[in-house]
């Protein structure tokens, strides 16, 4: 029985030849050699692409975050974005809740009359980072240098 092209490439590769060298002999690129081999001999633990379940058959909610869709489909976030666009799934924004404990600490610094520099020193942060966070969340500390 004759060997398929992929089997022939695999035998050459198993004998120690690089994809590039096999490609030079066959008149194709090394990348194409790799693709031909992978099409017939996928990496262990994975199914060939042709036999995998199409993503479009997996039911999705009408609206979801990219991370939720990626988890449902078992794909990367980029693949999830493409699937969502193709299927008309509404992209929900990711809502991040501010750290309530941190906000409470910074509000207590304001009540006690701390300056941004003093609070930054206590928190182990750069003054500019702490002041930007406070301003974003409506917390005002005293201006000026620490005593």
Claim to verify: residue 24 and residue 62 sit in the same structural domain = no
In a domain? residue 67: yes
- Rounded average pLDDT over 27-39: 92
Assign 75 a pLDDT band (cuts: 50, 70, 90).
Answer: confident
pLDDT tens-digit map of 41-62: 777 655 555 444 456 677 777 7
DSSP state of 141: P
Q: pTM value?
A: 0.34
Q: Is the pLDDT of residue 135 over 50?
A: yes
> Kind and range of the H or E element at 64?
strand 63-64
Supply the range of the domain harboring residue 63.
Answer: 53-95
Question: Are 33 and 62 found together in one domain?
Answer: no
Asked if residues 87 and 60 have their Cβ atoms less than 8 Å apart, the reply is yes
Co-location of 42 and 59 in the same domain: no
- Residue 91: band (very low, low, confident or very high) from pLDDT cuts 50, 70, 90: confident
Give the pLDDT confidence score for residue 17 in this predicted structure. Answer: 86
Residue 120 lies in a domain: yes
At 35, is the pLDDT very low, low, confident or very high (cuts 50, 70, 90)? Answer: very high
Residue 77, in any domain of the structure:
yes
* Mean pLDDT score, 22-31: 93
pLDDT of 52 = 46
Contacts of 21 (CB under 8 A, 6+ apart): 30
Position 114 pLDDT exceeds 70: yes
In a domain, 36, yes or no: yes
Residue 139 has pLDDT above 60, yes or no: yes
Residue 24 sits in the same domain as residue 46: yes
Count the neighbouring beta carbons within 10 Å of the beta carbon of residue 82.
Answer: 13
Q: What percent of the chain has pLDDT over 90?
A: 16
| 103 closest CA partner among 145, 59, 57, 134 | 134
Q: How many domains does the chain have?
A: 3
């Amino acid at each position: 029985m004759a060997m398929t092209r992929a089997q022939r490439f695999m035998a050459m590769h198993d004998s120690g030849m690089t994809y590039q060298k096999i490609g030079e002999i066959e008149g194709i690129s090394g990348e194409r050699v790799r693709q031909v081999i992978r099409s017939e001999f996928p990496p262990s633990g994975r199914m060939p692409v042709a036999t995998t379940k199409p993503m479009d058959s997996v039911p999705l909610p009408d609206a979801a975050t990219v991370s939720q869709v990626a988890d449902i489909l078992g794909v990367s976030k980029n693949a999830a974005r493409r699937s969502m666009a193709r299927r008309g799934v509404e992209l929900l924004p990711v809502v991040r809740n501010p750290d309530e404990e941190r906000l409470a600490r910074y509000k207590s610094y304001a009540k006690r009359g701390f300056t941004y520099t003093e609070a930054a020193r206590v928190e182990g942060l750069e003054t500019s980072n702490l002041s930007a966070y406070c301003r974003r969340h409506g917390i005002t500390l005293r201006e000026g240098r620490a005593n």
